[in-house]
Structure 1
Amino acid sequence: MYTSKKLVFLAQFFISALMAFLMTGIMGYLHGGLSETWQMDWARSFLTAWPIAFCLSMVVGPIGFKTAMLVLKLLPEGRA
């Protein structure tokens, strides 16, 4: 399936960027609302969160894929 290391690396790069962008924006909005400093706070949070999210996704991603494959193997045929 997706066995290319370059593909996995690039996908994790984009996935972590999108998740960090969306989560920091949503949580920043929920925490402080749309204040005058919201965009600047969001940018700062995103720049901090993205490298962390990327590193964690490189560890958690393979675990998630292995777990999903295990679950699919355990499901009866036709249920997946």
Structure 2
Amino acid sequence: MSARRREDLLNALLLSALISLVLSGLFSALDLGLTPGWPAAWARDFAFGWPIGTALSLFLGPPIRRLSAWLTQAQTGPR
């Protein structure tokens, strides 16, 4: 596996973990309130959401990166 591919994989894992952790905590707290059952719900929601976030990041990351590059080139093109 190339260094670039390893970096992309690690980036997808870390970013999806952070986003899933924050959003699962936020939305489970909004749904349940900060009750005694909230930490368990947060953990369950995070365990469910992280693999989905990772898969989305891995599969949609490259086309989104290309779209971002194209959009920024279009914005900074010749005047």
Report the TM-score, using the length of structure 1 for normalisation: 0.87
1:17 is aligned to 2:17: yes
Stretches of structure 1 that go unaligned for 5 or more consecutive residues are none
The structure richer in helix per residue is 2
Identity over aligned pairs, percent: 27
- Give the length in aligned residue pairs: 75
* Aligned counterparts of 2:68 and 2:53: Cα–Cα separation in 1: 20
CA RMSD of aligned residues (A): 1.3
Correspondence list, 1:46-65, <5 A: 46-65=46-65
Structure 2, gaps ≥5 residues long = none
CA distance, structure 2, for counterparts of residue 66 and residue 30 of structure 1: 35
Q: Which runs of 4+ in 1 moved over 4 A?
A: none
Cα separation, 2, equivalents of 1:76 and 1:61:
22
